[in-house]
Amino acid sequence: QVRLVESGGGSVQAGGSLRLSCAASGFIYSPYCMGWFRRAPGKEREGVAAIDIDGRTSYLDSVKGRFTISRDNAQNSLYLQMNSLKPEDTAMYYCAATRAGFGNIIDCGPQENYNYWGQGTQVTVSS
């Protein structure tokens, strides 16, 4: 049974940093795509960052240069280093992974390509 468990969320002031972690278990093979998504109050869930099995990455424009996604394939772990946090980054952050073996980082963007989701970890940034 596949399970994704996020940790590392919390409350910080604007300009601060947080590091989110996601522990994945139950995978026979490392998932091709792993990603971080977020849902802010009153808004749709959006993709924040994604990484494929070869380490290629993609980011939401608003987080480029501030967030860094990484993964450890041996441990099936996913990370998101968030620096220079802004109040608009406040959201529930979710870790997700795909079941299919895509061949391009572009396929790691769409939410509908993700089959497994964690329960989320709350990030709150105050001004």
Pairing of strands 77-82, 18-25: antiparallel
Q: Which of 22-26, 46-50, 88-92, 102-106 has the lowest mean pLDDT?
A: 102-106
Q: Is the pLDDT of residue 100 over 80?
A: no
Q: How many CB atoms lie within 10 A of CB 124?
A: 15
Take residue 107 and report the two structure tokens written for it. Answer: 């396929």
- Identity of residue 39: R
Q: Is the pLDDT of residue 3 over 80?
A: yes
Q: Is the pLDDT of residue 84 over 80?
A: yes
> Which residues have CB under 8 Å from 66's CB, separation 6+?
82, 83, 84, 85
Q: Is the pLDDT of residue 29 over 90?
A: no
- Identity of residue 38: R
- Exposed / middle / buried, residue 16 (Cβ in 10 Å: 0-12, 13-18, 19+): middle
